[in-house]
Structure 1
Amino acid sequence: MIAPTIPDLVARAAHHPFLREHLVMGQGAHRDIALAQFDDFELASAYEPIFDISVHALAQSLSSGAEEVDRFGDELGFQAVTYQLGSAPFEVFDPFDRIGNDQELVALDRMSRALHAINFFGAQRHGLLFLRVHERLLKSVKYDHGLHFSTVLKSFGLTPSRVVIELPAAAVAHKTFLGYLAKSYQHYGFKVAGNLSNAGQILSVSETARLDFIKMDAVVALRDATVKPLVGYASRLRVPLIFNRVMDETQFVALQQYDVRFVQGPLFNAHYHDRAA
């Protein structure tokens, strides 16, 4: 079966009345990607790589550094980032902060996820697609979390199994709610990741709230000297632990000392996209 291209997927999105109003192919320099038009914004997709550095840890010395990522790192997947066209891809921009109405936020969230899926799968990227879900969306949608997006993906001819729904720390803090969300998204075929705001939140992850991935801010973990216990506890849970927001070479080297396997963050973005360009 031939994989659909970005234009193919934009054409399929036109069968959805809401998506048809907002998703278009870009023009000029952006003619190869899909864009989303929402209010006065023109939104595009960027992808932050998540690297598996375990091969490097066995074969290379600690001094190899982040510039060697393209040689030793296998991409587990990519986290989608929404950015405003005309700005830098990883420049801080959160369109959700500008929306007060919950129904508009639900619409923007669904549109953004469809946009990122089209640009990711239509470009035949490999690995997993990590998609953040806004905390307010989780409160606005009362039940069957994942049903709508699963239906959209299947109508595109895509499978939810390569999509990781990334839950905010506020959801992870409540074990019962976390368990419900994880089971609901997994029921509809998605994988689920949970963000920790602090090391103690990992105690919310259990058999009743089984996650496929855990994500922790590397800056916070290194500052609080919790990298080692987090790695150990995640290993006992048998849930992969991703340290994100790795800012510089010093942090990267420090993480390697604790047998960290998965990393992402600003340190790798420019290097990765320069290589991919």
Structure 2
Amino acid sequence: MAYSEVRKLIAKLSNQPDMHAALGLADDGTVRGRFLELDLSSAFQPIFAIRTRQPAGYDAYARPRTANGEVISPWGLFAQAADDATLVRLDRLCRLVHTLNYFSQAQADLPLYLRVHGRLLAAITQDHGQAFRRMLEALGVPPSRIVLQLPSEAAHDVLLAGVILRNYRKAGFQAGIHANDVREAQSLLHLHAPDVLKLAPHAIASPETELPPLLKTAAERGSRVIFTCVEDDATLDRLTQVGADYVQGYLFGMPAPTLDAAQSGGPHR
């Protein structure tokens, strides 16, 4: 999308002055957010379908930089939000920056996966996702094209997780959650049937025995299981053999600011 078109998208948020004032364009035409003295940009990592070896969506990551260009971690970024109100604003700003950077790219026709910070779950008591939905409406982006992902700590309280997942769906989003282990993943599938469930291979003691029942439950509940942190061919082989469909990790490339660059890593074989 042309520089002027991205500027027009940002202008559509003028009715939300707090967010609008925190957005700007970098020299390369990408959207940047401003939080305190930090500059926020986006990086995207593909989620691959094993059978087709093609991307099935993109996961967004925040890339905060200091005034002198030093990159800090997302954990370092959110640690600077001292109170709930500041945290809520920062979390929404990150998601908004990612949304603008993603949907301003011509090939952005797959779901965008956005994280929700764990502290936000307690900071907002009801109507989760509604404020972000209104921002998307201003931009003309359907919420159904976005997967809002709850972090693994949310799964410790499956009842609260269910409330939030239902709120996301009510607002029109796809709803996802990270599970800490297979037992927790099964519980989440049975209780809430999230659109997406993420699980890391290192949390699986015996893929050959634990994963077929999990994948069967997911298929019955209409949920997609994405295995994260896939970093070597041996892990990919084991997941493929038990019938996994979706994977994500450094084996397929590092997060990158453009989708072309993110796809260039691709599956290594």
Band of TM-score, shorter chain = 0.7 to 0.9
Match of 1:177 among 147, 155, 160: 160
Shift of 1:13: 2.6
In the other structure, the counterpart of 1:269 is 253
Q: Distance in 1 between matches of 2:82 and 2:157?
A: 24
- 1:77 matched to 2:57? The reply is yes
- 1:122 matched to 2:104? The reply is yes
In the other structure, the counterpart of 1:108 is 90
- 1:50 matched to 2:33? The reply is no
Is there any run of 5+ residues in structure 2 with no aligned partner, and where?
Answer: 256-260
Q: Distance in 2 between matches of 1:274 and 1:191?
A: 23
- 1:154 matched to 2:137? The reply is yes
Shift of 1:97: 2.6
Maintained 8 Å contact 1:146/1:185: yes
Q: State the TM-score, normalizing by the size of structure 1.
A: 0.83
Q: Distance in 1 between matches of 2:147 and 2:136?
A: 13
- 1:137 matched to 2:117? The reply is no
Maintained 8 Å contact 1:245/1:265: yes
State the number of aligned residues. 250
- 1:166 matched to 2:146? The reply is no
CA RMSD of aligned residues (A): 2.2
Point out the structure with the larger helix share.
1
Shift of 1:208: 4.8
Maintained 8 Å contact 1:176/1:209: no
Maintained 8 Å contact 2:46/2:263: no
- After the TM superposition, which parts of structure 1 deviate over 6 Å for at least 4 consecutive aligned residues? none
Structure 1 stretch displaced more, 176-185 or 79-88: 79-88
SS in 1 for 2:87: helix
Maintained 8 Å contact 1:6/1:123: no
Per-residue Cα deviation, 1:126-173 (whole angstroms, up to 9, x for no partner): 200111101110110110001100011001111101010101122223
Q: State the TM-score, normalizing by the size of structure 2.
A: 0.85
In the other structure, the counterpart of 1:247 is 231
Amino acid at match of 2:139: F
Per-residue Cα deviation, 1:152-198 (whole angstroms, up to 9, x for no partner): 10011111010101011222232321221111110110000110011
